[in-house]
Amino acid sequence: MELPPSCFQSCLDFCPECGSVLPRPGPRSTVRCPRCAFALHSDDFEGKTIRSAIEFNRLEPAAGRGSDPAPHLEGPLVERRCPRCGHEGMAYRTRQMRSADEGQTVFYTCPHCRFQEKEDS
Digitized pLDDT (tens) for each residue of the chain, 121 residues in all: 555 555 555 566 788 888 888 877 766 678 888 888 888 877 777 777 767 788 888 877 655 444 444 445 667 899 999 999 999 999 999 888 888 888 889 999 999 999 999 988 7
CATH architecture of 77-120: Single Sheet (2.20)
**All structural domains of the chain with their residue ranges:** 1-49, 77-120
With H, G, I as helix, E, B as strand and everything else as coil, classify residue 66.
coil
Is 11 annotated as contributing to ligand binding?
no
Is 7 annotated as contributing to ligand binding?
no
pTM of the model: 0.40
Is 18 annotated as contributing to ligand binding?
yes
With H, G, I as helix, E, B as strand and everything else as coil, classify residue 78.
strand
Of 50, 118, 49, residue with least CA distance to 80: 118
